[in-house]
Amino acid sequence: MDATLARLVEEAKLAAPDAKIAERALPLLDLTSLNDDDTDERIVALCDRAVTPAGRVAAVCIHPRFIPVAKRRLENKGVAIATVVNFPGGGESAAEVAGSTRDAIRAGADEIDVVLPWRDFKAGERTVPNDILRACRDACGDGILMKVILETGGLDDADLIERASRDAVAAGADFLKTSTGKLQPAATLEAAAIMLAVIRDSGKPVGFKAAGGIRDTAGAATYLHLAGALMGEGWATPSTFRFGASGLLDALLGDLGQGATGQKPRGGY
């Protein structure tokens, strides 16, 4: 990471949380449950938490099999349904990814979070990852958001994260996302700075999603500060910036004086 980005990361770590940050962060939240043992009942509870006295979250992010449950529960609520493909390992073929994406969209998904084949990418392979992202992009068409999960904790190298970010943007990503939440470290400010700088330099309308390990308003404040420093104050809106999290919602509501909203999903988020 160059000196400018390193300085911005250090400054972001000093960002102070307050109720205004909590109010700003809540509508940026992709409320997430991606546990292997999720049930219909747990997803219903998740959806019921998505609309709060302080406002609604941007989306719920769930496994594809629960899309119909979420769609029924969130009908006319103004909350998008996001799901994952090639998740979490990134080992599916381009044809499988395209098929899974089309199936999810037919079931009612509004947003697709697709895992870059980061192990292949780390090993030097470029054609297979590119083919998978382009297959997903084609399946999404123009109306469905495609968020590309880089799994930055697995890439664990600034140059690799930068290259993967550039390739994902070139393949048509609508968002760059840090992590699956299944591998540690998950989201880090250092990875976020590299990804945001690539988005800025691309000149394209690409958003950013920090996912995994962000559990309180203080953590949210650091990422919002960093995004403002790199992209401009006010850039972070639901169309350009998301937090992938579960427990973060209760923390934000607590700081807004609203208390908890019920059962918290389990898992890496």
> Is there a domain that residue 60 lies in?
yes
Q: Over the stretch 136-151, which tens digit does the pLDDT of each residue have? A: 999 999 999 999 999 9
Express each pLDDT in 220-252 by its tens digit.
Answer: 999 999 999 999 999 999 999 999 999 999 999
Rounded average pLDDT over 146-159: 96
Catalytic residue (choose from 30, 38, 113, 250): 113
The percentage of residues in the chain with a pLDDT greater than 70, rounded to a whole number, is 97
Is residue 234 in a domain? yes
- Quickly count: other Cβ atoms within 10 Å of residue 196's Cβ: 25
Q: Which of 177, 182, 250, 255 is catalytic?
A: 177
Rounded to 5 degrees, what are φ and ψ at 55? Answer: 125, 175
Marked catalytic residue, from 30, 147, 174, 209: 209
What is 182-206 written as a DSSP string?
A: SSSS-S-HHHHHHHHHHHHHHTS--
Structural domain contains residue 16: yes
Residue 267 inside a domain? The answer is no
Reply yes or no on whether 209 is catalytic.
yes
DSSP H or E segment with residue 218 = helix 217-231
Report the C-alpha gap between 260 and 68 in whole angstroms: 26
pLDDT at 262: 45
- pLDDT score for 267: 54
Angle formed at CA 31 by CA 27 and CA 36, multiple of 5 degrees: 170
Confidence of residue 269 (pLDDT cuts 50, 70, 90): confident
Whether 161 is covered by a domain: the verdict is yes
Print the domain residue range for 192.
Answer: 3-255
What total number of domains does the chain contain? 1
CATH number for the domain that contains residue 185:
3.20.20.70
Cα–Cα distances in angstroms (integers) from residue 92 to residues 42, 117, 171, in the given order: 27, 8, 17
- Give 110's DSSP letter: S
The answer to whether position 265 is within a domain reads: no
Residue 44 belongs to a domain: yes
| Residue 64: inside a domain | yes
